[in-house]
Structure 1
Amino acid sequence: MVDQPGQFQKTVIKQYPARTLNETAESRYWRRFRAPTVAQQVGAVTCIDFSPLYPYNYAVTASTRVIIYDAHTRKPITTLSRFKDKAYSGTFRIDGKLLVAGGENGFVQVFDPKSQTLLRQLKGHERPVHTTRFSPSKMHVLSGSDDATVRWWDVTAGEQVFRLEGHTDYVRSSACSPSLPDTWATGSYDHTCRLWDIRTQECTMTLDHGAPVEATVFLPGGSLLATAGGTEIRIWSMLAGGRLLARLANHQKTVTSLAVALAAGPTAASSPRLISGSLDAHVKVYELDAFKVTHVSKYPAPVMSVAISPNAALLAVGMADGQLSVRKHSHNKGPAGGGPAKAKKVWKPTSTAASYRYFVRGTTEKPSKDDIKISQPGMRRLAPYDHMLRHFQYRAALDAAVATEQVEVVANLLEELAARSGLSAALGGRDAQGLLPLLTHLVKHLSDPRHSDLFIGIANRILDIYAPALGVSEEVDAKMRLLRERVTLEAKLQASLVQLQGTLDPILHAALNQQPQTEG
Structure 2
Amino acid sequence: MGDDAKAQLQALREELQTLKSQGQNGGFETVSNVSQLTTGNLKARRQLKGHFGKVYAMHWAGAGSSEELVSASQDGKLIVWNAQSTLKKQAIPLRSSWVMTCAFEQDKNQMVACGGLDNLCSIYKIEAESTTVTRASKELQAHDGYLSCCRFIGSDHIITSSGDSTCMYWDIERSEVLKSFTDHNGDVMSVAINPNDKNTFISGSCDATCKLWDIRQQQCVSTFTGHESDINAVSFFPSGMAFGTGSDDSSCRLYDLRCYQEVNTFMSDRILCGITSVAFSKSGRLLIGGYDDFSTHCWDTLKANPGNPAFSNEKGHGHENRVSCLGVSSDGTALCTGSWDTLLKVYA
Q: Aligned AA for 1:194? A: K
Distance 2:330 2:71 in 1: 16
My pick for the range that moved more, 279-288 or 60-69, is: 279-288
Paired with 1:170 and 1:216, the residues of 2 have a C-alpha distance of 14
Q: 1:125 is matched with which residue? A: 143
Q: Look up the equivalent residue of 1:306 and give its one-letter code.
A: L
Distance 1:82-1:38 versus aligned 2 partners, 3 A rule: closer
Q: Whole-Å Cα distance in 1 between the matches of residues 265 and 40 of structure 2?
A: 26
Residue 19 of structure 2: aligned partner: none
Partner of 2:195 in structure 1? 178
Equivalence for 1:50: 60
Question: What one-letter code is carried by the residue in structure 2 that aligns with 1:309?
Answer: S
For 2:157 and 2:44, the matched residues in 1 are separated by 38
Post-superposition offset of 1:255? 0.7
Is contact 2:54–2:340 with CA below 8 Å preserved after alignment?
Answer: yes
Q: Distance in 1 between matches of 2:282 and 2:38?
A: 15
Residue type matched to 2:328 in 1?
A: I
Residue number in structure 2 paired with 1:29:
41
CA distance in 1, matches of 2:311, 2:212: 31
Matched, 1:307 2:327: yes
What are the equivalent positions in structure 2 for 1:431-510 lying under 5 Å apart? Answer: none
Counterparts of 1:150 and 1:312, CA distance in 2: 28
Determine if the alignment matches structure 1 residue 325 to structure 2 residue 325.
Answer: no
Structure 1 residue 71 displacement after superposition? 2.2
Q: Are 2:273 and 1:253 equivalent residues in the alignment?
A: yes
Q: Residues 41 and 324 of structure 1 are in contact (CA less than 8 Å); yes or no, is this contact kept in structure 2?
A: no
Structure 1 alignment gaps of length 5 or more:
1-23, 264-270, 330-520
CA contact (8 A) 1:83 1:103 kept: no
The secondary structure found in structure 2 opposite 1:73 is: coil
Q: Cα offset for 1:55?
A: 4.5
Q: CA RMSD in A?
A: 1.9
The residue type paired with residue 273 of structure 1 is: L
Note if contact 1:261-1:310 (Cα within 8 Å) is conserved in structure 2: no
The 2-side partners of 1:219 and 1:35 are apart by: 25
**Which residue identity does 1:44 align to in structure 2?**
K
Q: Which of 105, 125, 134 is equivalent to 2:118?
A: 105
Aligned-partner Cα distance in 2 for 1:34–1:257: 18
Higher strand share: 2
Q: Does 1:79 align with 2:91?
A: yes
| Structure 1 residue 25 displacement after superposition | 7.2
> What is the DSSP-based 3-state SS (H/G/I as helix, E as strand, rest coil) of the residue aligned with 2:41?
helix
Give the Cα–Cα distance (whole angstroms) in 1 for the partners of residues 38 and 300 of structure 2: 10
CA–CA distance in 2 between the matches of 1:310 and 1:219? Answer: 13
* Counterpart Cα distance in 2 of 1:255 and 1:174: 15
Distance in 2 separating the partners of 1:318 and 1:178: 23
**Which amino acid is the alignment partner of residue 54 of structure 1?**
S
Q: Which one has more relative contact order, counting CA pairs under 8 Å at least 6 apart? A: 2
Shift of the 120–38 alpha-carbon distance from structure 1 to 2, 3 Å rule, reads closer
Match for residue 212 of structure 2?
A: 195
Unaligned runs of 5+ in 2: 1-35
Deviations 1:167-191 (A, max 9, x none): 1221110001123221111111111
Name 1:480's counterpart in structure 2.
none
Compute the displacement of 1:157 (Å): 1.4
Task: Render the CA deviation track for 1:85-125: whole Å, top value 9, x for unaligned.
Answer: 41222111112111121221111111112252522111111
Partner of 2:3: none
Aligned residues: 294
TM-score, normalization by structure 1 = 0.54
| Cα deviation, residue 40, structure 1 | 5.3
User: Given the alignment of the two structures, is residue 211 of structure 1 paired with residue 224 of structure 2, yes or no?
Assistant: no
Which AA in structure 1 matches 2:193? C
Looking at structure 1, the residues matched to 67 and 166 of structure 2 have their Cα atoms a distance apart, in angstroms, of: 32
Task: Indicate the structure (1 or 2) with the bigger Cα radius of gyration.
Answer: 1
Alignment partners' CA distance in 1, 2:46 and 2:179: 43
Q: TM-score, normalised by structure 2?
A: 0.79
1:237 aligns with 2:256: yes
Q: Residues 221 and 57 from structure 1, CA distance in 2 versus in 1: closer, same or farther, beyond 3 angstroms?
A: same
> What residue number does 1:479 align with?
none
Q: Is the 8 A contact 1:49 1:90 kept in 2?
A: yes
Would the aligned equivalents of 1:40 and 1:324 in 2 still touch at CA under 8 Å?
Answer: no
> Structure 1 vs Structure 2: percent identity of aligned residues?
20
* 1:339 aligned residue: none
Say whether the 8 Å CA contact 2:78–2:94 is kept in structure 1: no
Secondary structure, in 3 states, of the residue corresponding to 2:310? strand
